[in-house]
Amino acid sequence: MTALSAIYGRITATRNRLYDRGTFRSNRLSRPVISVGNISVGGSGKTPFVILLGQWLNQRGITFDVLSRGYGRETRGVLAVDPDGSPREFGDEPLLIAKALKCPVVVGKSRYEAGLFAEKQRTSDYHILDDGFQHRSLARDFEIVLLSPEDLHDQLLPAGRLREPLSSAGRADVIVLSEDVDSSRLPTGKSIWRVRRSLLWTSSIFPSCVTPRRPVLFCAIARPHRFVEQVRASGVQPAAQKFYRDHHRYSERDIDDLLAIKAHHSADGFIATQKDWINLGPLYARLGSIAFPPVKMDLIEPADALDTMLRIIAERRPRT
């Protein structure tokens, strides 16, 4: 661990202790809050999991909204996400969630203020707090933390990508892991949900588009190698690859570069993620044949996972 990482770790540990002791206050909303977060900078699958959780609640007829910071947006204050809006207004991931779940999504630097706004607009049964593990100023009733395989061997910022040490996962109610990740290093006594991720080619944004077989694969996500592995595992062999920084918003120049790469490698189209679809906006039309396969996340052996979570929340809520 570097000296800067050690200093960062001490600051983070002190902040968490102050919340644990009640020195720093957590504000509570009227409706229960389910937090979905991680300990690293991007790439753990929070957005697919938020969508999975929302689908579970939808199947039960349970109403909910999603509270998000709206990372990368150029607007200020608390805003309800318009699914037809732009990432500059709301951020790419809140837009993707709003389109996928067709539920209210509210963005705000203060998720407590966003929650108050949501409760004034309508009465949902639950709030889902997106990327909420470090946002401790909002009280939560159930804490879910996702860990990636890389998190188990990474370092704290700035030397690595960890926002908190692995031991911090101990304050979560449930730790979500990929199906093949070794859990021996995790805090003991914690419930573990294992998930499987796959690409849904038949449910692409443009189902009439024939999936390219020798595409240029490009994306602007935190850990692009996973997307490459998923595409290859589906039998598609990219002719070329191009990666951009996470949350990158595409320009006309980017489109020119991608078309040049396609011509140079005699590729037959493009494949990108749904987050790239959001950040491309109308520019995607210039690329021609392109597929945006959604990432589907499934809980392995779900059994009574949702029932258990709802029961615990009911037990914890203050009785009025």
Same domain, 156 and 287: no
Which pLDDT belongs to residue 225? 93
Same domain, 143 and 252: no
Q: How many other CB atoms are found less than 10 A from the CB of residue 244?
A: 16
Rounded Cα distance, 182 and 193, in Å = 13
* Burial class of 80 by CB neighbour count within 10 A (0 to 12, 13 to 18, 19+): middle
Contact 39, 166 (CB under 8 A): yes
Same domain, 100 and 218: no
Which pLDDT belongs to residue 96? 96
Rounded Cα distance, 173 and 311, in Å = 13
Residues contacting residue 97 through CB under 8 Å, at least 6 positions apart = 47, 50, 51, 54, 66, 68, 103, 105, 130
* Burial class of 312 by CB neighbour count within 10 A (0 to 12, 13 to 18, 19+): middle
Same domain, 147 and 48: yes
Phi, psi of 270 (to 5 degrees): -135, 150
Same domain, 71 and 179: yes
What H or E segment, with its residue span, contains residue 270? Answer: strand 270-271
Same domain, 123 and 267: no
Count how many domains the chain has: 2
Rounded Cα distance, 158 and 309, in Å = 34
Helix axes 92-101, 46-59, angle to 10 degrees: 20
Which pLDDT belongs to residue 62? 97
Same domain, 279 and 208: yes
Same domain, 100 and 39: yes
Which pLDDT belongs to residue 44? 87
In the chain (320 residues long), the average pLDDT of successive 10-residue segments reads 90 96 96 97 91 96 97 96 97 97 97 98 94 97 94 93 94 91 81 91 58 93 93 93 96 98 96 95 93 91 92 85
Same domain, 13 and 129: yes
Same domain, 249 and 154: no
Residue 238 structural domain? 201-293
Same domain, 208 and 153: no
Same domain, 268 and 185: no
Which pLDDT belongs to residue 205? 54
- Cα dihedral across residues 125, 300, 291, 206: positive or negative: negative
CATH code, domain carrying 306: 3.40.50
